[in-house]
Structure 1
């Protein structure tokens, strides 16, 4: 069904005004919370399946959470999400009709509502713009991974994360492994030297096609823009490709274990069976960190293939399968403690930080882990090796369309290594 509600289209110039606001003259978060008992008023920007699930986890993570505003590009998404919320967490739903916003500017209208915290769960393309708007409005933030789709957006997220730090706003990202007791204990032991000095790592997200989990829309009479936005997982400009949208989880674990980002990478990939959109269905990337540490990365979305979603960190005295909570070698260990739902735990940690007035800020770390993935994609698309400093500081790659409206927007061609330029 086509949904082309009347909105206020934003020009490219409107979109790119100041990648992050100056901290000068910006106020601090104003509301105080005592003894963990006060109400947290929450808004949702991006009412798809993941955003709805995240908001349900948020409500279930802590008492006193109220949903007061919602926004999405499409009215049908918002209404479906609202119906699901009323079914799953009915007493938390306080969203009046005048706090239900649709269109390209819905995020700006949500953050201007009387709320404390906002969930940013629209497709990755919009992360930088939505994050900036939320922090400018003085809201605490949960933002889904990844942190963006191109270097221009990543630089904006890092700048906005610094503004959030100056304003004492909490920012938690959807890299929920960082909030897992099993992962945290295993990484703590790695940092304590239990596997010796790290010399290598291998990370994987090899699984099936996501068709069925995500909806593919037939174009029909939809405008190019609406069709691509509705089918966002299969277009690079909206999703970043699956190495960015999905494999970022595993790459984030490596950065966490090494407490660093890579210095350079070289990758390859392609479309073996995929015929939707313009993204690849497999990648293999080698990342090189300081001291010659090399990380082998694989991700694949092809049905009927062997699945592996894992992170192994290799040291001079053993190795850690972080996803299993297992260390082998001179000091073996197996995590056998509790490991509550990671999605609920990340929300509980965020809300507790707000109530305690002790902000946590994961903005930069998710941006850097996302840049790992973006670098890998850029290398695979172009067939070129590239360095972190160039990608982070010099790359001009910017996947934004010329304007945000229901426009003609030809699909970019599938990348061809050796021909697609490195921008």
Structure 2
């Protein structure tokens, strides 16, 4: 059985600090959570990340089982179920009564006897799913991003506050916060290894991910079914693949370096080179400005045939921190590189979630997750409109991208591709 004994420093690292350091978490919760009683997991969204997170949950603790699943499409659920059963057959106990299908399948799963839900659908649905989970008294693992628009962010903030009052755990899929090498690097930065931060730079330059759905649209597919199956490149489902989904990890790390101080505004450029990929941008450069004058720069691109890089750089008064090829290094007055153990951050984040439930000290990443998501949305707003957009304006935006009254047979027409200088800020 996996041990879950975290000292105070390790636990603050694992939780991003907010849940424990605040002193707001009660020392006890329900007895069944403090024991070794079996914890039941429900999976909402049975794609690759959802299936992977479910596997990580099972590997975190031998007294965890997957007991319910929900997905819009039954064949996707069966594929996920078969994969999990192949890996850990004795720990997957999803009978026919606990396989829920359809856009509203999550509602049925929330009424099932599960302790933890994994929320891994396209992110357009994340705010509603988290709200339902918290209302139903479930702990949650929330894959990125937490929302695709400002109304969604405000919903996630409200759900996170309710979860804190109900002493429910929320662990975010912004997984770099759970990487041991970066936790050690952040400790070095906090202890002054590079001096005062002067600038930040992040890259997420990758090939295009291509269509999510492998195949042509079938004649009987509705707009909604087709777009959900190929959700990467539809604004109302993904919120923007390049700036928000891919770049979301980069801005979360940028926030981490800045001790979760948020920027005051953003200016950006961006566009789309290949019209095959729907109505989202495939390249962008965002400049975030902070209250103290520091600027953070995000370069994000999803185009084939280009130079690829995923890295981070923080320039300080006494040194430079670089994170390239998953190796953190500090040079300057202090020379440091990580020499500790390497672990899968995807596994560590589920270990942390389940360990916090067992210990009676539930992690709540909700507020941080929502604010990082809004930082990505702020960059998208600046890129799409061509305007300088303030944090306050982004937080108060009324633009809701998810269509009202959505059904699987609905007709949904994509919004036109944004045109900087023409597209209005809403």
TM-score calculated relative to the size of structure 2: 0.90
Within-5 A mapping of 1:174-323: 174-211=173-210, 214-221=212-219, 222-242=221-241, 243-259=243-259, 260-322=261-323, 323=326
Give 1:398's aligned residue.
Answer: 400
2:403, 2:298 → 1: CA distance? 30
Contact 2:72 2:102 in 1 (8 A): yes
Q: How does 1:378-389 map to 2 (within 5 A)?
A: 378-389=381-392
Q: Is the 8 A contact 1:196 1:316 kept in 2?
A: yes
Aligned partner of residue 33 in structure 1, secondary structure = helix
Matched-pair contact (CA < 8 Å) for 1:217–1:227: no
- Is contact 1:274-1:281 (8 Å) kept? no
Alignment of 1:129-168 (within 5 A): 129-168=128-167
1:320-365 CA distance string (max 9 Å, x none): 1145221111011000110211111100010000001101110111
Conservation of the 8 A alpha-carbon contact between 1:218 and 1:227: no
Question: Matched residue of 1:319: which SS?
Answer: strand
State the distance in 2 between where 1:304 and 1:38 align: 52
Q: CA deviation at 1:61?
A: 2.0
What secondary structure, in the 3-state scheme, does the structure 2 residue paired with 1:309 have?
A: strand
Q: What CA deviation, in whole Å up to 9, does each residue of 1:219-259 have, x standing for no partner?
A: 33211111111111111110011211121111001111102
- How far residue 29 of structure 1 moved from its aligned partner, in angstroms, is 6.5
Please tell me whether residue 413 in structure 1 is matched to residue 412 in structure 2: no
Find the aligned partners of 2:56 and 2:362 in 1 and give their Cα distance.
20
Give the total of aligned pairs.
Answer: 393
CA distance, structure 2, for counterparts of residue 216 and residue 292 of structure 1: 46
Name the counterpart of 1:32: 32
**8 Å contact kept, 2:321–2:330:** yes
- Residue 262 of structure 1 contacts residue 287 of structure 1 at CA under 8 Å; is this kept in 2? yes
CA–CA separation in structure 2 for the residues paired with 1:86 and 1:188:
39
1:177–1:59 CA distance, 2 compared to 1 (3 A): same
Shift of 1:216: 4.9
Residues in 2 aligned to 1:270 and 1:365: alpha-carbon distance in whole angstroms: 28
Whether the aligned pair in 2 keeps the contact of 1:124 and 1:148 (CA below 8 Å) is yes
Bigger mean CA deviation after superposition, 317-326 or 247-256: 317-326
Q: C-alpha separation between the residues in 2 aligned to 1:75 and 1:239?
A: 22
* SS in structure 2 at match of 1:162: helix
Question: Counterpart of 1:170?
Answer: 169
Aligned partners of 2:119 and 2:129 also within 8 Å = yes
Evaluate the alpha carbon distance shift between residue 34 and residue 152 of structure 1 in structure 2; reply closer, same or farther with a 3 A threshold: closer
Q: Which residue of 1 aligns with 2:19?
A: none
Query: Do the aligned residues in 2 keep the contact of 1:200 with 1:293 (CA within 8 Å)?
Result: yes
Q: Distance in 1 between matches of 2:31 and 2:114?
A: 10
Q: Aligned partners of 2:412, 2:312: CA distance in 1, in Å?
A: 38
CA distance in 2, matches of 1:57, 1:107: 21
Q: What is the CA deviation profile of residues 159-210 of structure 1, one whole-angstrom value per residue up to 9, with x for unaligned ones?
A: 1101001111111011111111100010111111111111100011101010
TM-score, normalised with respect to structure 1: 0.90
User: What is the match of residue 345 of structure 1?
Assistant: 348
CA RMSD of aligned residues (A): 1.4
Give per-residue Cα distances to partners, 1:353-389, cap 9 Å, x unaligned.
0001101110111111111111111111111110001
- 2:32 partner SS: coil
Three-state SS of the structure 1 residue aligned to 2:276 is coil
Question: Match of 1:325, SS?
Answer: strand
Higher mean C-alpha deviation, range 215-224 or range 288-297: 215-224
Greater mean deviation of Cα atoms: 143-152 or 267-276: 267-276
> 1:111 and 1:246 mapped to 2: Cα distance?
29
What is residue 65 of structure 1 aligned with on the other side?
64
Q: Is the 8 A contact 2:100 2:109 kept in 1?
A: yes
- Matched residues in 2 for 1:388 and 1:217: separation? 40
Corresponding residue SS for 1:313: strand
